[in-house]
Amino acid sequence: MPNQKNAQLSPAEVISVLIVDDHELVRQGIETFLNLQADIEIIASAANAKQAIEQVETLVPDVILMDLNLGEGMNGIEATRKIKAISPQSTVIVLTSFHSDEYIFPAIKSGALSYLLKDIEPIELADAIRKAASGQAVLAPIVAKRIVEEMQPSNKEITPPHSQLSVRELEILKLIAEGFNNQEISDSLNIAIKTVRCHVSNILSKLHLRDRTQAAIHAWQKGLL
């Protein structure tokens, strides 16, 4: 059935949007508001990364609202990277509750144009979608602050960091920071997953870090990417 709210707009003027969030109530709330906007059309929603990728392949939306925590399986960072590979013309807006370094930098690195928090005002979200459709990035203030801080020269080490890591360990550390899991690292480097686990363990030990999340944050903070 034709969408009456944008019947007077040409197809090129209407922004098609895919909502990706594992909470049905959130998806419904966003859709209810955005459906009131004459120039925005919700063409589909997805509860997980697999559904999102399938929808993108079929519908090729202009803008994708992507949550990062999608429950079990692939997270929003991995989904964004795969979606951008499938449909480079689709723009991804991260819409999440998380704003720590372990989410911000990998999400942007994976191809997200904008990074917003779920406390955003509905009208601001609609405006961010319009800007994203025209290639303009919108960042939550706290996210923009962190990105600017990381770009400051004073935050970068003059001497090469991580000289105690081997070339392979440094390569794996960078992949961890980009959001790759062990299986994806194994596939990317064509090495056994047991070897990957061994390298990850050595990296954590040499850098005195507790887990791979700390390793990812450490890599971003030291400017390795």
Please state the pTM of the whole predicted model: 0.70
- C-alpha dihedral sign at 12, 89, 92, 21: positive
Sequence ranges of the chain with CATH classification 1.10.10.10: 167-221
Question: Residue 206: its pLDDT value, please?
Answer: 85
The residues of the chain scoring below 50 in pLDDT are 1-2, 155-156, 158-159
Measured CA to CA in angstroms, residue 181 lies from 4, 71, 100, 216 at distances of 44, 15, 19, 11
Q: How high is the pLDDT of residue 1?
A: 38
Q: How far apart are CA 88 and CA 152, in angstroms?
A: 30
CATH domain 4-150 topology: Rossmann fold (3.40.50)
Q: What is the CATH number of domain 167-221?
A: 1.10.10.10
Parts of the chain belonging to CATH 3.40.50.2300? 4-150
